[in-house]
Homo-oligomer: A and B are copies of this chain.
C-alpha cells in the first residue's frame, strides 16, 4: 500500500471498524457483507469479463445480461435469498452497472403480486418466476414522463370478443425510456388509458406480451426497439414501443382493485391511493443509494488526494499531498459528510416507511402525507447533491478524474438520472412545498403539529443560541427557523397574490422558485446552499 495512504489511515481519530459496524448492521452484518463481497470479487467468471472502462455499447449490454443471469444462478446455487444479501452481492459484482433483469424483479413481478387477482397471480407468476416471461414496466411515453394522467396509449374494451384493443394513437404516445424494453423483455406491465362503454376510466395496468416466446421477435402489430445511446446506462436497453390495435384477452388487465366486467361495465377501486406506499419506499431507497454512491466517489477522490502530490509550495521542498490544500479539503470533506448523512437518512426513512405503513394498515392515515412529502423532498435533494457532488469529486481528481479508469465518470453517469426518474426533482420539491404550505396554514389557524413537521409550530427564541462553541442543536434550530421563515414567506406571498385576484395556479407558479428553495432548506441540508 502507498505510504501516504498508510500515514493518513494511521492518523484517524476514530475506530474505523466500529464505524463500519454502525454503517453495516453490527459485527455480524459486516462479516456477512465481506463474505459476500469476496465471493463477487474473487469469482473467476466475473473476473474474466471485459472491465467496465473498456467496453463498447454492445459489450456493455452483453456483459450486463451475462452478469445478471450468472448472479441469479450463483445465488440460487449458494442459496442466497435474503434481499440484503442479494443486494450486497450484486453491488460488489456489478457496482454502478445496469441489470437488464432488474425491472423484472422489482417492477414486473411485484406489480402482478400487488395488483393481480388470485387467478392472475396463478397465471402470470409461475412463468415469470421461471424467467419464461421476462417483463418490464412500460409507463413513460415520448410525450409524458411526469404527468402520468397525460399518457396517450389506449386500451379499449371490446365486449364482443372480450378483449382489449391496445393502441398507440399518436407519435407522442410511443412508450419511450422503459428499461429492459429495447432487447430483453417479452412482456410488459403496460400503463394505458382504459376505455370501456365509450368512457375513459383513466390509467390502468395491463400485462401484455410483446415478443414471441419462441424466437423473441416482436409480435404482430408491435414495434419495439432500443432508444440508442445515452450519457450512461450503457448496459441497459431502454426502449421504445408502439401498438397498432393489438388485441389482448380481458384478463390482461390487472383487476385486484378495479375491474372491467365481461359486458364492459367498469368497477372502480375503493381507495384511489393504492400505489402511494411503494413510491415512498422506492424514494427512500434512492436516498440511501445516493448516499452510498457519493461515498464511493468520495473514497476514490479522497484516496487519490492522499496519494497525489502536486506543486512545490516551498522552493526545493517536497510537493504536498493535494489533500493538504485547504481548497481540496473544501471540495472533498463536505461531500464525505453528506454521504454519511444520506446513508443514515436512507435507513431512517426505510424504518419510518415500515412504521407508518403499519399505522396505515391499522387505519391511521395521519402521517402518510407527511412521510410522502419528506420522501419527495429528500429524494430530490439527495439526488441533486449526489449528482453534482460526484461530478465535483471527479473534477477534484484533475485529468485522471476524466478517465473511465478512475471509476468516477461511471458513478456520475449512472446516478444522475436519479434526478429525473421516480419523480422529476423540481416536481418533487414543489410537492413537498405544497404540503408544507398546507401545514403552515394549519399552524396559522392555531393547530399544533407533530412528527417531521412539528418545527413549524415552534416559536423561535428571540436570540440565536449560536456562539463560539457551536452546538449541533443550535444549528438545527437555525435551520428549522430558516425553513419556517421561508415557508411563511411563500405562504404569505401566495395569499397576497390570490387576494390581488390571481388564480391559485398562477399564484402558485409565481411562488414556485421560492417553494423549491423552501423545501430544500426544510430537509436540514448537510451542505451549503
Contact = CB atoms under 8 A, between A and B. Distances in A.
Interface string A172-209: 00001100000000000000000000000000000000
A419 B404 contact: no
A388 B388 CA distance: 8
A398 B424 contact: yes
A401 B420 CA distance: 10
A143 B398 CA distance: 11
Contacts of A512: 325-327
Contacts of A309: 143
Given A57-B56, A144-B310, A312-B147, A404 B330 contact: no
A228 B150 contact: no
Given A56-B57, A326-B510, A430-B327, A228 B405 contact: yes
User: Which secondary structure dominates where chain A touches chain B?
Assistant: helix
Nearest to A503: B314
Interface string A302-332: 0000000111111000010000111110110
Contact of A509 (B149, B326, B331, B403): B326
Interface in A403-438: 403-405, 409, 412-413, 416-417, 419-421, 424-427, 430
A327 B519 CA distance: 13
Contact of A399 (B150, B413, B421): B421
Contacts of A395: 387, 416, 419-420, 425
B147 A319 contact: yes
B311 A147 contact: yes
Contact of A404 (B143, B150, B231, B327): B231
A300 interface: no
A417 B404 contact: no
Task: Pick from A56, A229, A326, A398 the residue with the most CB of B within 10 Å.
Answer: A398
Contacts of A79: none
Nearest to A313: B505
A60 to B, nearest CB: 10
A402 B426 contact: no
Nearest to A516: B327
Given A150-B310, A311-B427, A228 B54 contact: yes
A273 interface: no
Nearest to A150: B319
A59 to B, nearest CB: 9
A391 interface: yes
A145 B311 CA distance: 9
A53 interface: yes
Contacts of A324: 509
3 residue pairs, one from A and one from B, having the closest CB atoms: A231-B409, A56-B56, A229-B404
15 contacts: A53-B228, A54-B229, A56-B56, A145-B399, A149-B312, A150-B310, A177-B399, A229-B403, A232-B402, A311-B427, A324-B509, A328-B426, A387-B395, A395-B419, A395-B425
Given A231-B413, A232-B402, A399-B420, 12 more contacts: A145-B310, A146-B310, A147-B311, A147-B319, A150-B319, A230-B404, A326-B513, A327-B516, A330-B513, A387-B395, A388-B388, A395-B420
